[in-house]
């Protein structure tokens, strides 16, 4: 366990403490309060951290895990525990609901032209799938189809190429990235990733596909490993917790990849406008 703090962490903790004093919430941390809304308008989360909302809150029934903006910001799609909510990004009002038997814990994206939405679906033991829904101009769904996936890959992050012809989907349990033909809705091939890939982003500027790997790099022969969801991951010999997190930069055209070490359990990612 680390017993040191970098200066930036000290600064952040100091700011958090100042906010906590101002809102009078220190007593919350020393009680057995249930997670959720606390006096002073802050929320206690399971990690014993206090989160203060910035702006207005819109209650969402269910268990929202991921979201995606329409390319022209017309709609906000929310991946919920039992389906997809299409909402008005200004008012937060629900415009429509696309039901699903069981969604994954991440993975939703609009096609670059905005007429189609892809969302990850996963069951306890498979089979898994990709939900593909046509989205009308009023935010209601048209045709809803599914791309069946073999076995139990657990699809997570989804991203499209700039021309909208290709979709990239992180397969968490297969430690790979599925490359799909959008028009035919078929899996063309899989590219190897790190362990437990999660988020995907595509750069139109340099042609790279970026993938976060929550369990980090692939194990080397002398690494201590622990089993998790069908794979062995590099882990701490005492606790069994993962000790690696990586970002993978893929150039499929040149068949090149670069693994970049980052902090533990990286998840979603976003590219800057340039």
Q: Could you report the per-residue pLDDT of 184-220, keeping only the tens digit for each?
A: 999 999 999 999 999 999 998 888 999 999 999 999 9
Integer angstrom CA distances of residue 195 from 209, 211, 237:
16, 11, 18
Nearest to 212 by CA among 140, 268, 138, 147: 268
Round to whole Å and give the CA distance between 236 and 145.
42
- Looking up tokens 């590099």 gives 234
Does 106 or 41 have the greater pLDDT score?
106
Angle at the Cα of 23 from the Cα atoms of 18 and 27, rounded to 5 degrees: 90
Round to whole Å and give the CA distance between 22 and 67.
32
Mean pLDDT of all residues in 41-51? 85
The pLDDT of residue 31: 61
The pLDDT of residue 30: 58
Mean pLDDT of all residues in 4-13? 39
Round to whole Å and give the CA distance between 246 and 259.
6
Tell me the pLDDT band of 16, cut-offs 50, 70 and 90: very low
pTM tops 0.85: no
Integer angstrom CA distances of residue 12 from 17, 30, 82, 120, 255:
9, 21, 36, 35, 41
Structure tokens at 9: 């962490």
């Amino acid at each position: 366990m680390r017993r040191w703090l970098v200066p930036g962490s000290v600064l952040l903790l100091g700011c958090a403490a100042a906010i906590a004093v101002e809102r009078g919430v220190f007593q919350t941390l020393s009680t057995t309060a249930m997670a959720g809304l606390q006096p002073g308008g802050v929320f206690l989360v399971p990690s014993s951290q206090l989160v203060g909302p910035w702006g207005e809150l819109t209650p969402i029934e269910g268990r929202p895990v991921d979201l995606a903006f329409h390319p022209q910001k017309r709609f906000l799609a929310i991946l919920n525990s039992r389906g997809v909510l299409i909402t008005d990004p200004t008012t937060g009002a629900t415009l429509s609901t696309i039901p699903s038997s069981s969604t994954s814990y991440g993975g939703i994206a609009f096609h670059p032209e905005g007429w189609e939405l892809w969302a990850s679906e996963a069951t306890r033991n498979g089979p898994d799938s990709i939900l593909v829904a046509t989205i009308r101009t009023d935010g209601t769904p048209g045709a809803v189809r599914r791309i069946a996936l073999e076995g139990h890959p657990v699809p997570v992050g989804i991203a499209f190429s700039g021309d909208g012809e290709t979709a990239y989907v992180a397969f968490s349990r297969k430690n790979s990235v599925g490359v799909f033909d959008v028009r035919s809705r078929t899996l063309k091939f899989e590219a190897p990733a790190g362990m437990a890939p999660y988020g995907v982003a595509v750069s139109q500027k340099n042609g790279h596909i970026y993938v976060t790997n929550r369990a980090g790099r692939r194990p080397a022969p002398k690494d201590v490993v622990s089993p998790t969801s069908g794979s062995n991951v590099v882990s701490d010999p005492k606790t069994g917790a993962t000790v690696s997190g990586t970002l993978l930069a893929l150039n499929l055209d040149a068949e090149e990849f670069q693994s970049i070490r980052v902090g533990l359990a990286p998840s979603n990612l976003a590219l800057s406008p340039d």
